[in-house]
Structures are given as structure tokens and as C-alpha cells.
Amino acid sequence: MSELEVWEKASTIAAAFGDDEPEQFAERLFDILRDTANPRDWPRIAAAVDVIAAASKH
């Protein structure tokens, strides 16, 4: 994935989850990541989600 694709995917993930229960979160997260061709991109996506989530709390 390009850097743009990583950030777009992270934005989709961050926007999709509000106050989900852990089970709902896991199911929806898997559904979103399953569409990602390369699991090696997942750590990059996770790092971007962390940045977006932290920024949205401020």
C-alpha cells in the first residue's frame, strides 16, 4: 500500500469505531482489514489509526 492508502484505510477504521463493544470492534476491524491485500501493511495501518485516534481526543 502507498502511504496515502495506509492513511485512507486508517481514517476509515477510525471513523467506523465509536463506542463499540470489544466483540463488535474485533468483527468490524477484521472485515475492514480483510480487504487489505498485504497483511504486512497492517502494522502501518495500526500506527496511523493510533495517531488519528489520539488527535481526535484533543
The domain locations on the chain are 3-56
Supply the DSSP symbol for 20: -
Whether the full predicted model's pTM is greater than 0.75, yes or no, is no
Structure confidence by residue, pLDDT tens digits, 9-36: 888 887 777 666 767 777 777 777 777 7
- Three-state SS string over 1-58 comes to CCHHHHHHHHHHHHHHCCCCCHHHHHHHHHHHHHCCCCHHHHHHHHHHHHHHHHHHCC
For residue 48, pLDDT beyond 80: yes
Q: Which has the closest alpha carbon to 49: 10, 20, 22, 16?
A: 10
Q: Residue 39's pLDDT is what?
A: 82
Judge contact between 17 and 50, C-beta under 8 A: no
